[in-house]
Amino acid sequence: GKYTLTYFPVRGRGEATRMLLADQKQEWTEDVVTGEIWQKGDLKKSCVFGQVPRFQDGDFVLVQSNAILRHLARNHGLYGQDAREATLLDMVNDGVEDLRVKYARLIYQNYDAGKAEYIEALPAQLRPFENLLAQNDGGKGFIVGKKISFVDYNLLDILQLHLVLAPNCLDSFPLLAAYVQRLNARPHLKTYLESEGRKQRPINGNGKQ
Ligand SMILES: N[C@@H](CCC(=O)N[C@@H](CS(=O)(=O)O)C(=O)NCC(=O)O)C(=O)O
């Protein structure tokens, strides 16, 4: 097929793309990068910034997880209804990215010593997303505008990750809790979430979650 995702066998920075593709009824090939393959060095040298995920759309090859999401958003009508919504989506996606970086730092650099403190500080990190939902049609739909966008898949991923890290983290955020349930129940996404591919993939590369 036309789409190939080259990445480690983890959710990580590939999962929002996987959920977008699944929900949009798109097929893709998983080009699984094992540690052994990565250590060889050839693939790393071939990537613009020496990192994965890498995405191939036919003969078009790109890296950077957020650029991959935006590329798919442009091509599948997932970038809002107008320029203003597109700008708001960029703003919110940058907020998701900020939280993802903090999460990755905890997981890969400070898990045992930092987990309790991270979870204690988590409500303040999630509150902005609850507020954004509250300001958009009472929070009954998507994070921006009236249709699903690439940011919904990225935000859903980071919320799913935090529900594993801290199962009660959405207890004081009813709109976010309902948002996760609602998106998880979307038929094509639900099928993916129940798939072996999804269930077999560890969340992160070091066994911590
Ligand atoms: N900004 C990049 C970061 C990519 C990145 O950090 N990739 C890591 C793996 S992960 O953090 O996404 O899990 C990597 O290739 N690490 C291997 C290496 O740097 O040699 C993106 O968003 O795609």
Q: Which of 8, 52, 72, 93 has the most ligand 1 atoms within 8 A of CB, as the residue to mutate?
A: 52
CA of 17 from ligand 1 middle (Å) equals 14
Average pLDDT of the chain is 98
The protein residue with its alpha carbon nearest to ligand 1, atom 20, reads 51
Q: Is the pTM of this model over 0.90?
A: yes
Residue 60, Cβ density class (10 Å: 0-12 exposed, 13-18 middle, ≥19 buried): exposed
- CB neighbours of residue 31 within 10 Å: 16
The protein residue with its alpha carbon nearest to ligand 1, atom 21, reads 64
Instruction: Enumerate residues lining ligand 1, CB below 6 A.
Output: 12-13, 44, 50-53, 64-66, 205
pLDDT one-digit tens code per residue, 117-151: 999 999 999 999 999 999 999 999 999 999 999 99
Q: Using the CB atoms, write b or e for 75-106: b if 16+ within 10 Å.
A: ebebbbeeeebbebbbebbebbeebbeebeeb
Q: Is the pLDDT of residue 185 over 70?
A: yes
Q: How far apart are CA 48 and CA 45, in angstroms?
A: 8
pLDDT at 1: 60
Nearest to 158 by CA among 9, 8, 19: 19
- Quickly state the pLDDT bin for 202 (edges 50, 70, 90): very high
